[in-house]
Structure 1
Amino acid sequence: MTLQTNIHKKASLLMWMFFMLMAPLSIYMMMGGGTTLIEWAMFNISSTPIMVTIIIDPVGTLFSSTVLLISANVLQFSTTYMMHDKFIDRFTILVLLFVLSMNLLIFIPHLIILLLGWDGLGLVSFILVIYYQNPKSLGAGMITALTNRIGDVMLLLSIAWTLNQGHWNIIHMWESSSFTWQSVAILLAAMTKSAQMPFSSWLPAAMAAPTPVSALVHSSTLVTAGVFLLIRFYPFLSSTSWFNQLLLLIAVSTTTMAGLSAMTECDMKKIIALSTLSQLGMMMASMGLGMVNLAYFHMVTHALFKALLFICAGTLIHSHMHSQDLRWMGNINAQMPTTSSCFMLANMALCGAPFMSGFYSKDMIVESSIFYSNNFIMLIIILFTVSLTSFYTMRFSLTTIWGPSNCNPFMHLEESSSLTSPMLTLSSMSIISGSALIWIMPMSQEPMTMTPLMKNAPMIMVIMGLVVAWYTNTQQLKNSSLMMTVPMTHYASCLMWFLVPLSSQFTMKEPMSISHNYLKSLDQSWLELLGGQGLSSSSFSASNSMMNMFNTKPVNYLMMSSILVLLTLTLL
Structure 2
Amino acid sequence: MVLIFLGFTTSFISLFFLQTGNILVLEWELLTISSTSVSLPFILDPIGITFSTVVSLISGSVLWFSSHYMGADPFNERFKLMVLIFVASMNLLIFIPNLICLLLGWDGLGVISFALVIYYQNSKSLGAGMITALSNRIGDLMILVAIALTLTQGHWNILAMWTISPWISLCIIIAAMTKSAQMPFSAWLPAAMAAPTPVSALVHSSTLVTAGVFLLIRFFYFIVQTPYLLKFLLIIAVMTCLMAGLSANLENDLKKIIALSTLSQLGVMMSSIALHLPLLALYHLFTHAMFKALLFLCAGSMIYSKVDTQDIRSLSGTWYTLPVTTAHLNIANLSLCGAPFLSGFYSKDLILEAFLSYNNLITLIAMSIATGLTAAYSLRLSFIALWGKVKMPLMALEKTKLTNPMTLLSFFGVVQGYLLHKLFLGCDAFLFTEKMMIPLMILSGAYLGIILFKHPKNSSFLRTMWNMPEISSQKFISPLPTASPKTKSLDPGWLEVSSFSASFKKAMTIHYASRSPHLSTQTLVAIMSLTLYLLYMLFMHT
TM class, shorter-chain normalised? 0.7 to 0.9
5 Å matches for 1:91-106? 91-106=79-94
1:158: Cα distance to partner?
Answer: 0.3
Aligned to 1:434: 417
Q: Does 1:356 align with 2:356?
A: no
Query: Which residue matches 1:88?
Result: 76
Could you list the runs of 5+ residues in structure 2 that have no partner in the other structure? 485-542
State the one-letter code of the partner of 2:351. Answer: I
Letter in 2 for 1:509: S
Picking from 128, 132, 145, the partner of 1:140 is 128
Cα deviation, 1:134-157, whole Å, max 9, x if unaligned, reads 100000000000000000000001
Please name the residue that 1:6 is paired with: none
Name 1:333's counterpart in structure 2: 319
Distance 2:116 2:483 in 1: 31
What residue identity is the alignment partner of 2:421?
A: I
AA at the equivalent of 2:460: Y
DSSP 3-state at the match of 2:205:
helix
Residue 69 (structure 1) aligned with residue 72 (structure 2): no
- Are 2:376 and 1:396 equivalent residues in the alignment? no
Alignment root-mean-square deviation, CA: 1.7
Which residue of 2 is the match for residue 155 of structure 1?
Answer: 143
Secondary structure of the 1:196 match is coil
Amino acid of the residue matched to residue 32 of structure 2?
N
CA distance in 1, matches of 2:333, 2:5: 29
Task: Note the C-alpha offset of 1:414.
Answer: 2.1
Whether 1:377 aligns to 2:343 is no
User: Structure 1 pair 455/425, CA: closer, same or farther in 2 (3 Å)?
Assistant: closer
Amino acid at match of 1:117: G
From the superposition, tell whether residues 131 and 513 of structure 1 become closer, same or farther in structure 2 (CA, over 3 Å).
farther
Structure 2 residue 138 is matched with structure 1 residue 169:
no
Against the structure 1 CA distance between its residues 514 and 77, is the aligned structure 2 distance closer, same or farther, given a 3 Å change threshold? farther
Alpha-carbon deviation of 1:197? Answer: 0.2
Q: Which amino acid aligns with 1:389?
A: T
Which residue in 2 is equivalent to 1:202? 188
Give the aligned partner of residue 463 of structure 1: 443
Which amino acid is the alignment partner of residue 300 of structure 1?
Answer: F
Aligned to 2:478: 509
Q: Secondary structure at the match of 2:310?
A: coil
**Matched-pair identity in %:** 50
Residue correspondence of structure 1 range 303-314 to structure 2 within 5 A: 303-314=289-300
Structure 1 equivalent of residue 401 of structure 2: 418
Amino acid at match of 2:102: L
Alpha-carbon distance in structure 2 between the residues aligned to 1:107 and 1:513: 49
Greater Cα offset, 303-312 or 20-29 = 20-29
> Is 1:40 the equivalent of 2:25?
no
Helix, strand or coil for the counterpart of 2:447?
helix
Distance in 2 separating the partners of 1:209 and 1:514? 37
Q: CA deviation at 1:285?
A: 0.7
Q: How far 1:506 moved relative to its partner?
A: 2.9
CA distance in 1, matches of 2:452, 2:176: 37
Q: Which amino acid aligns with 1:234?
A: F
When Rg is computed on C-alpha atoms for both structures, the one with the higher figure is: 1
Give the deviation of 1:514 after TM superposition.
9.7
* 2: CA distance, partners of 1:207 / 1:295: 25
Aligned pairs (5 A) from 1:532-551: none
Matched, 1:234 2:217: no
> Would the alpha carbon gap of residues 45 and 513 (structure 1) be closer, same or farther in structure 2, given more than 3 Å must change?
farther
SS in 2 for 1:37: strand
Structure 1 segments unaligned to the other structure (5+ residues): 1-12, 485-489, 516-572
Note the alpha carbon deviations across 1:322-353, whole angstroms, 9 max, x for none.
11111111111111111011000000000001
CA distance in 2, matches of 1:451, 1:58: 31
> 1:45 Cα deviation (Å)?
1.3
Q: Pairwise mapping of residues 290-329 of structure 1 onto structure 2 (< 5 A)?
A: 290-329=276-315
TM (norm. structure 1) is: 0.82
Task: Summarize the Cα distance change of 1:451–1:25 in structure 2 as closer, same or farther, 3 Å threshold.
Answer: closer
CA contact (8 A) 2:204 2:292 kept: no
Query: SS state of the match for residue 395, structure 2?
Result: coil
User: Greater CA deviation, 14-23 or 117-126?
Assistant: 14-23
State the shift of 1:504 in Å: 1.5
Larger deviation, residues 17-26 vs 334-343:
17-26
Aligned to 2:372: 387
Alignment-mate amino acid for residue 464 of structure 1: S
Which of 24, 30, 34 pairs up with 2:12? 24
Amino acid at match of 1:384: I
Moved more, 429-438 or 494-503: 494-503
Aligned-pair distance for 1:507?
3.4
